Structures are given as C-alpha cells and as structure tokens.
Structure 1
Amino acid sequence: MVRLVNVYTISAFLSLGVALIGFDISSMSGVLGTHQYRDFYGNPLGARQGAITGAMAAGSFVSALFAGSLGDRFGRKVTIQVGLLLWCIGSVVQSTSNGVAMLVAGRVISGLCIGLTASLIPTYQSEIAPHKIRGRIVSFQSLAGAMGIMIQYFIQYGCSFINSEAAFRVPWAIQAGPAVILFVGLFWFPRSPRWLASKGRWEEVLRVLARLRTANNDVNDPFVLAEYKEIEDRVRLDLLDVPSNSIRDLFSLKMRRRVFLGMAIQIWSQLTGINIMMYYIVYILESAGIRNVLLASSAQYIINVVMTIPAILWVDKWGRRPSLLIGAVSMAFWLFLIGGLLKAYGEPNPIPNQPTTWIVVDHPAVSRAILAGSCITVGSFAISWGPVSWIYQAEVVPLRVRARSVALSTASNWAFNFVLAVFVPLLLRSISWVMFFLFGSFDIAAFIHVWVAAPETKQRTLEEMDEIFEHGEQKPLWKSFTATRPTNKFDMLAKDIEMGKLIVHPQVNTF
C-alpha cells in the first residue's frame, strides 16, 4: 500500500510556500506593463520602481537572519506557519494600498514571510527526504516557484484588461489564497525527524521515520533503523564535539568553508542575470522592440516551468556540480548574445521618461532573437541553478547549524536580490546593453568558483557530508568534472541491521 502522505506529497504541498515567491515576481513583473498601475502610482521609474520591487527582498533579508534561530527553537513547521500569517497581512496591505508608501510597506511585510519560508522549507525538505532522492524532493520548490510565476502572471495578464484599479489589486489579493491553504495543511504534517533528534525526542524520531519510509509504519524496518542510527550517531558526535548551538559555531574552522560555500552559491544564483529576466522582462522586451510585451513575456514563464521538470527527475543522477557548471556557461553565452545584439542594432530612445533609454527599431529578426535568448537564459537557469542552489545550501552543513546556515545563505540571496531589484532599473536607463555583459561575466566567475570549490554531494546522506568536507577529495576539484562518487555505506548499514550483525536500540530522551 502506498501512503497518500509521503515525502513526495509533503514536499509538493509544502512547496506552496515557495510558490509565493513566484506569485510576487510575476505580479510585479506583470503590472509594470499596465497603464493602470503606472497611472495610479505616478509612473514610477528608476530608483522609485526599484524601491517598490526591492521592498520584498528587504523584508526577506531581515527575517532570514532570524529564521535559523526561530526554526531551531520552535521547529521548522511552526515557524513556516508564522511566516504564512505575515504573507496574508502583506497581501491585504498591498491590495488596499493608497500610494507608493503603503505598497512598499505591504511588500516588506510579505517579504518577512519569504525570508522565513525560503530558509526553512528547503531545510525541512532535506531533513525528511531519503538521501538518494533528496535533490528531487528539494527541487519541488523550484517547480512550485516556477508554476507560481506562470499562474500569477496569467492572472495578472487577464486582469490587465480591467480598466480600473482592480487590474492590480485583484492579483495582489489572490496571493493570500495559497498561504491560507498551506497554513491549514501543515497541521497534519510531521515535524522534521532531525529537529526532533536535536531536542532528544527519540521515540518521535523513530515514529516519523517509519511513517515517511514505510507503508505500514514499521519501526523495525532495517532502512528505518539504519537512518535512525545515523541520525543518533551524528547528534551524539555533534554534542560531544561542540556542546553549543551558537552563532560562533557557524564560523568555526570546521564549518566556515561549508557555510561560505552555501552563501556563495546563493549569491551567484542572484548574479546569474535571472532577476533581470524575472522582474524586468517587460522592460527588456520593450527595449528589444517587441510590441505585445505582456503576451511575449509569458513564453519565458512557461519555459521556466517546463525546464524545471527535468531537473526534478534527474538532478540526483546528473549531480549538483555538473548542473551548476553547465548552467553558468549556458547563461553567460546567451546574455553576451543579447548584449551584443542590443549594442549592434540598438539606438537611443527618442521618447523621454521611459524605463529604457536604448531600443531596437525596425529589426524584427533581432527582436525575436533577443526574445529567444531571454527564454533560453531562463530555461538554462531553471534546469540548473534554480533548483540546485536551494538543494546545495541545505545539505552541506550538519544538523547543529543547518537551520542557521541555510538562513544565512538565504539572507545573502535576498540581500543581493534587493540590490539588484533596486539598481537594475537604473542600469537599464544608464548603461543599457552593457548590463548584459556584466551579468554574463558574473556567470563566468560563478563557473570558475564552482569548478575549484564545490564538491559533488549527490546521493550522500546528510550525515556523510563530514567525509566530503573534512577528509577532502583524492584529487583537486578542478581536475574533475563530477568529483565525488556516492558511497553505499547506508545500504551496508541497513544490511547489517537486517542480518542481525548490528542491533539498534532506540533511545528515549538520550541527550
């Protein structure tokens, strides 16, 4: 019998929390091309529009700094629910805003939700997932984010035909719906077994593992007992090694490489150029000479969803490292191409007070090529950096610092998201086509960093990460494309338990 509630359904449902990010991205991207939004808020351009867009990231950055501490104290699930309540409040404030100041305030409140959910959802997913499909499970959030972008964009596109303030108020109000559904549904989901272990609640750890791994809640299943044993040994070692869970622990000699690597992967994911395509694709297509920019923009959101599916299916086979490397090169190529086409065929915009000061006129083939390049850039991100950046940060650190490390990585993500949201409109008006060469160069830098510093982590248990990072590789990372190979230690442990060579005695409040 297959249980209705398993790691797949839990992860898919939980990913509604990440879909909220997608709703925000496309709701903001969609309104930029509508006269209703521009008329009501005084045609915000440059820094003003950047402040409106970046307000979400500003709130996310602040709450992400506290997400780890809250997640460790109250649990992943409860903290996510608190974030969802904040999202509903933010949606109400945005949809009833009477000016830019109130709109910014609403977006900051909604951002407080995203900082919590974006930090703790991948943490929760990685902690409930079997190691062989952990990448697939965490990747559900990337698919949810992509679907949130696409669904909300078409809602926004449909509302754009309403000749009133409802054109932007209705989509912003609708955003609260998925948050309410997820908030209620979480009451029926289990707590993270690894968080329970950190609190010494060992009977619950065993019951949750049995519920997640077997169809009949078999606490004597060899694979359940093997995972329980690994968690128990890891928690015991952590408590003997470092008896505290302090901020200082994050930056200890043993942890800093992993923590900084998780932060770097998140930062690079923002610098790939994806934010230009997600938030400001309307401006780019206007610069390229595309007429119906709202309809044309929808193509990249559909591609974003479609190209996330292969990542979910095969990221645990491809590996994290090859995905990041190939994705960085692909995005760099297409950004350089877009920048080159704009430089070669563009000219100064003769119309004042426009979002873009450099446009392509009467070159339909070039316009279509820029549209295609933007779509392929998004597709390259969706199949690589989109899911892997969230997978990697949650799996490279041990339990005792995982929530705080992921929160710090997520805060880094939102800090750069905020900077880009604020400054991209300014860059589009000042350096125009040069901006694409800038972000293409960032992709090359990301490729180099991953090549020399990011080991492969696919199909390793979370408890095995110490072997990768503390004992090192047999040869330098830059000499290998995929680097580490998965081991079968977990399977051997389960076999020993099944054959009676190892007896596991579940503990009760051991620590």
Structure 2
Amino acid sequence: MLQKVRGTDDVQPELDDLIKASAISKTIKHPFKKIIKRKYRPQLVMSIAIPFFQQVTGINVIGFYALILFLALGLGESVALLSVILTSFVGTFSTFISMIVVDKIGRKIIFLSGGIQMFLSQILVGGIMATKLGDHGEISQGYAYIVLVLICVYVSGFAWSWGPRGWLVPSEIFPLEIRSTGQSITVAVCFLFTFIIAQTFLVMLCHFKAGIFFFFGAWVVVMTSFVYLLLPETKNVPIEQMERVWREH
C-alpha cells in the first residue's frame, strides 16, 4: 500500500517507522492520563478547539433551519424546497473539489480561505436582513435571491474548508500513541456542541434576530485567527513524524 501511495518501491524506511510507532502505541496504558501531560498539550487543545470552532461556524443553523429561513424570506414553499436542495448540492460539490486539491494546496490555506469566505457571506446576509427585513417587515424578491446566493457561498465555504478539514486535520495531528484517544475527544466535543447549538439556536434567534449572523461571523474571525496563529501545516507529513512537527512549531 505504501508503494502504491508513494509511487516508488523504496518505502522500507517509512514502513519500519510505522511498525515501530505502532508497536510503541500498543504499549501505552491509560491513554487519557497520557494525553493531558504537557508533552501532548498542543494536540489536546486542538482536539477540543477544532470541533468546537467547526460547530460555531453556524453551519448547523443552516442545516437545521434552512427551509424556515428561505420561507421567511418570502421565496414560497416550492422555491424554498428547491433552495434547500441547491445548498446541499453546492456543499457536496465543494467538498468533492476540496478532496481533490487538499494535498496540493495544504490544510491551513484551505482553513483560512474558507473562513474568509464564510465571514464575508455571513456579514452580508446579516446586513441585508437587518436593513431590508427588520422584525416584521418584508424583503423584496431580488434581495431574497441575493441572500440565497450568499447562503450558497457560505455553505460552499464551509464544505470546502471546515467541514471535511475539521475531521481530517485532527486525524493527522496526533502521534500514534494517543491517536485513538485524541479522535474520541474530537468526536465527543463535536457532538456536544452540535447538541448545544441545536437546542439554543431558536432562543438566540429571538434575542439576536438578524444579528445571529454577526454572532457566528465573529466566531469565524476567532477560529480563522486561531488557525493562522497556532495550527501547523500537516500537508505531506507522515503520522510517525508528527511529533517532530509539534516540537518545531
């Protein structure tokens, strides 16, 4: 398999490293105690921060309440349903493109570009809804379609970056001896904040109204800055060498 992935028959040193790292990982006892040690603190922070930021992008708001949003814009039931299908297609297509180019562009660049794309679209959507819709007003059909396009841009930004990369990068940043533990923390944090946001969104919407888009947009700024400052690039770095990446970062 290594020969197939690397495109060369000269893979024995890398294979030996993998075997050695795997053997060491099998000797680890009490992995949850090990991951909280100072040596693995950066990985522990990432295992919590990345899934947290993935959820506070606001993507689940669109996923859960897109139909209600489009109906509120006055698009009509059939058009609203088609809009939901359109956003799903845009997201799927963007994820597919991301899978093709991720090893050429790099994880960090994709994170940053997706964050900028999501932030701009959220601010524009929030601005249009605050000025044109208000609390009980109506929005013209032209602005409704602009919001639809911006929502598609937002979904594309997430599906291109934080959607798949939010799962890929945590799977790459952990040394083998704590990898399963780190991944379990990542999944648990992701599901926890999915639940919290789903349960609290309607209350936040009642208080923030159109400002809900500015709220999630602010989190996008925070998480994009976090990635820019603290996340190392993991492109083309074998898992058995990941400890060296963190030591040099």
Same fold (TM over 0.5): yes
**1:366 counterpart (143, 167, 189):** 143
Q: How far 1:390 sits from its partner (Å)?
A: 0.6
1:278 counterpart letter in structure 2: G
| Percent identity (aligned) | 23
- Tell me the residue number matched to 1:273: 58
1:373 counterpart letter in structure 2: L
- Tell me the residue number matched to 1:137: none
| Preserved CA contact (<8 Å) 2:135 2:209 | no
2:120 paired with 1:296: no
- Tell me the residue number matched to 1:343: 130
2:229 paired with 1:444: no
**2:206 counterpart (398, 416, 429):** 429
**2:237 counterpart (432, 440, 460):** 460
**CA deviations over 1:296-319 (Å, ceiling 9, x no partner):** 211100101111121111101111
| Preserved CA contact (<8 Å) 1:263 1:393 | no
The correspondence of residues 93-104 of structure 1 with structure 2, limited to 5 A, is none
**1:285 counterpart (70, 82, 88):** 70
| Preserved CA contact (<8 Å) 1:263 1:410 | no
2:179 paired with 1:402: yes
Give the 3-state SS of the residue equivalent to 1:254 in structure 2: helix
| Preserved CA contact (<8 Å) 1:262 1:392 | no
Q: How far 1:400 sits from its partner (Å)?
A: 1.7
2:88 paired with 1:311: no
Change (3 A) 1:362 1:406: closer
Structure 2 CA distance, aligned partners of 1:289 and 1:231? 57
TM-score when normalising by structure 2 = 0.91
Give the 3-state SS of the residue equivalent to 2:134 in structure 1: strand
Change (3 A) 1:464 1:214: closer
Give the 3-state SS of the residue equivalent to 1:280 in structure 2: helix
**1:325 counterpart (112, 125, 128):** 112
Change (3 A) 1:227 1:378: same
In the TM superposition, structure 1's runs of 4+ consecutive aligned residues that sit over 4 Å from their partners are 236-239
Structure 1 CA distance, aligned partners of 2:139 and 2:222? 35
Q: How far 1:237 sits from its partner (Å)?
A: 5.2
Structure 1 CA distance, aligned partners of 2:151 and 2:38? 41
**Number of matched pairs:** 243
**2:49 counterpart (246, 264, 286):** 264
Structure 1 CA distance, aligned partners of 2:28 and 2:139? 68
The correspondence of residues 471-490 of structure 1 with structure 2, limited to 5 A, is 472-473=248-249
| Preserved CA contact (<8 Å) 1:319 1:456 | yes
**CA deviations over 1:1-60 (Å, ceiling 9, x no partner):** xxxxxxxxxxxxxxxxxxxxxxxxxxxxxxxxxxxxxxxxxxxxxxxxxxxxxxxxxxxx
2:231 paired with 1:231: no
5+ unaligned residues in a row in structure 2: which ranges? none
**1:246 counterpart (25, 31, 37):** 31
1:318 counterpart letter in structure 2: I
The correspondence of residues 411-430 of structure 1 with structure 2, limited to 5 A, is 411-430=188-207
1:427 counterpart letter in structure 2: M
Structure 2 CA distance, aligned partners of 1:269 and 1:312? 18
* Greater relative contact order structure (CA < 8 Å, 6+ sep): 2
TM-score when normalising by structure 1 = 0.46
| Preserved CA contact (<8 Å) 1:259 1:409 | no
- Tell me the residue number matched to 1:377: 154
1:299 counterpart letter in structure 2: L
Change (3 A) 1:238 1:403: closer
Q: How far 1:236 sits from its partner (Å)?
A: 5.0
5+ unaligned residues in a row in structure 1: which ranges? 1-211, 216-220, 350-359, 474-511
Give the 3-state SS of the residue equivalent to 1:395 in structure 2: helix
Structure number with bigger Rg:
1
Q: How far 1:426 sits from its partner (Å)?
A: 2.2
